[in-house]
Amino acid sequence: MTLRFFIRQLVTDAARKAAAALNVQLPEGFIPRIDYTPDLKFGHYASPAAMELAKVFKLPPRAIAEKIIAALDNAAFEKVELAGAGFINFTLNQNGIAKALAFHSLDAWLKASESETQKDKIIFEYVSANPTGPMNIVSARAASVGDSITRVLKTAGHDVHREYYVNDYGNQVEMLGLSFAYRYLQKFKSVTLPETCYQGEYISDYLESLLASVEIPAAVKLSADKVTKLNQNDWLAEAARFFSPLGVKAILGEQQKDLAAFRTEFDNFFSEASLHEKGAVLAIGAELKKRGKIKVEEGAEVFLSTEYGDDKDRVVVRSDGRPTYLLADIAYHNTKVARGFKTIVDIWGPDHHGYIARLSGALKALGFGEQAGESFKVIIAQQVNLMENGEPVVMSKRLGKFQTMRDLIEKIPVDVCRYFFVTRALSTHLDFDLTLALDQSKKNPVYYVQYAHARIHSIFREAGYDAAKPLSLTEALPSLITAENPERMALFFNLMRFPELVHDIARNYEIQRLPEYLYQTATLFTSFYHGKNNRIKDLLVSQPAEAEALLQLCSLTAQVLETGLKLLGITAPQEMHREEEV
């Protein structure tokens, strides 16, 4: 159980008693807010509950706060004070603090705190890059954020499914096949690649590996002799059909390699083509029609998305009878509903924001969201600007060393990439500073956090402890936390917040708060480490019991840093080695 949850229960009880005594009704489902005090000198936690209740109770906040304090079970508190306009400040005593430490390790504590989560079945879709070329930097950002958020959701106790939607159907896939065909033809004959084809050199590279590893059927196989008497258009059509699925497979394989190198995992890669093959796409169109949400205009079937706040109605079946991408996406999201997910979250690229209204409208039209707890949320991953020496890096072909996710991974360590990508809210533009990313000094925050972790392991090595095994936390630890040792107290209460932060992020998806927290933890630890009274090496001789307790504090810090970094897909090294400057 987290301390915040514990206090919230006590305040809820007290507010209920206060309401009964005053003969007023608490608002339906009232849950008092429990915040952190702006400074530990005010106490450890604070609640503005009395201010929130002022209107309902028709009393001044301070008067309500007094009633709540009077009704509060205060066994866990050293003091409970009324402050400011009506804040209730809580200072825990050692019994209270020990509540959180009853689990002896961070893992056990997190596990026990899962019960505070309203467990949900969540599907998270992210990256979903088109299988027509290498992934770009925004995909890397989405991968990093999606992966980290889902790790947090799991830790908080949710049932999470991570999915990648593969657009392996339609025009662009045919165009991909045609691009391969042209590149193949170019090996024997000078032809110009049409503008509609994929221009990237990577097509030729993939073609070569395909030619080396796959049996090419006679109808497609070319030779110098055959090219002279070729019916070019017929051959191109045939060859495009042949290369199309192979090209998708090859490119998807490369994408998966990059994702693995980036330590991002998916539970499933969902094929769009599989929906078309099953007839699920046209079937969902029929379902919308049955529900009266389709009109026919110039021979095309049009979804009435304006009924759901869209700018205009959207074509879902073209006048020639072929479904649009939107209809396939509706069918895809319908499978998410059918698979029993209550919370559906998508991370999309910046070019898709206009798409939210029509898809969420379609889900509403199909009845999703009518039941309690059902929600559909889209997070837009905004663009990434690469910066070098304070100047934007132009991503032109000529200058662009950093056009793709792979370029990025090859140049910048994954630990650094992943840290940088999660330091800003996904929905805001991100300047990615390559100069700072390559900097191994203190300027680079990820190394600062890792350094603090490594330093703790160094302390354990020096003290003759096995650093690989976390120390079991005992009641000796809270006894350290006294006002005479502000560094210990600041560090300790920061550590107490970690499980609370996990729950917050699981609720609001604001992953950027985690790297910020870890940096803060590293700073507080380093201050503690330099504190005159905290020299474990000396205390081991003079005050072995206190040294043991301090080692527990260090161990808990290391567990928090390691677990936090792991949630971000970043390693927690036990020793740091700086690469020599060349």
- Would you state the structure tokens that stand for residue 467, as one six-digit string? 């650093």
- Do 242 and 248 meet the contact criterion of CB atoms below 8 Å apart? no
- For RNA, the closer CB: 49 or 185: 49
Residue 58, burial from CB neighbour count under 10 angstroms (0-12, 13-18, 19+): exposed
- For RNA, the closer CB: 202 or 451: 451
- For RNA, the closer CB: 374 or 516: 516
- For RNA, the closer CB: 314 or 406: 314
- For RNA, the closer CB: 37 or 479: 37
Q: How far is the CB of 396 from RNA (least distance, A)?
A: 13
- For RNA, the closer CB: 132 or 559: 132
Q: How far is the CB of 579 from RNA (least distance, A)?
A: 8
* DSSP letter string, 186-229: HTTS--PPPTTS---THHHHHHHHHHHHSPPPTTT---HHHHHT
14: helix, strand or coil: helix
Query: Phi and psi (nearest 5°) for 315?
Result: -65, 130
The CA distance from 42 to 2, in Å, is 20
442: helix, strand or coil: coil
The CA distance from 14 to 12, in Å, is 5
- Do 410 and 133 meet the contact criterion of CB atoms below 8 Å apart? no
Q: How far is the CB of 224 from RNA (least distance, A)?
A: 35
Q: How far is the CB of 234 from RNA (least distance, A)?
A: 24
- For RNA, the closer CB: 268 or 319: 319
Query: Phi and psi (nearest 5°) for 504?
Result: -60, -45
- For RNA, the closer CB: 227 or 540: 540
Q: How far is the CB of 348 from RNA (least distance, A)?
A: 9
Q: How far is the CB of 412 from RNA (least distance, A)?
A: 14
Report the 3 state secondary structure along 37-102.
CCCHHHCCEEECHHHHHHHHHCCCHHHHHHHHHHHCCCCCEEEEEEECCCEEEEEECHHHHHHHHC
Q: How far is the CB of 555 from RNA (least distance, A)?
A: 13
The CA distance from 439 to 578, in Å, is 10
- For RNA, the closer CB: 103 or 519: 519
- For RNA, the closer CB: 103 or 448: 448
Question: Which residues touch 375 (CB under 8 Å, ≥6 apart)?
Answer: 342, 343, 344, 369
Q: How far is the CB of 21 from RNA (least distance, A)?
A: 22
Q: How far is the CB of 430 from RNA (least distance, A)?
A: 7
Report the 3 state secondary structure along 456-517.
HHHHHHHHCCCCCCCCCCCCCCHHHCCCCCHHHHHHHHHHHCHHHHHHHHHHHCCCCHHHHH
Strand partners, 317: 301, 323
The CA distance from 150 to 162, in Å, is 7
149: helix, strand or coil: helix
Q: How far is the CB of 428 from RNA (least distance, A)?
A: 4
248: helix, strand or coil: helix
Q: How far is the CB of 537 from RNA (least distance, A)?
A: 4
Report the 3 state secondary structure along 393-419.
CCCCCCCCCCCEHHHHHHHCCHHHHHH
Question: Which residues touch 218 (CB under 8 Å, ≥6 apart)?
Answer: none
- Would you state the structure tokens that stand for residue 500, as one six-digit string? 């609370």
- For RNA, the closer CB: 22 or 83: 83
The CA distance from 485 to 473, in Å, is 19
- For RNA, the closer CB: 225 or 320: 320
Q: How far is the CB of 398 from RNA (least distance, A)?
A: 18
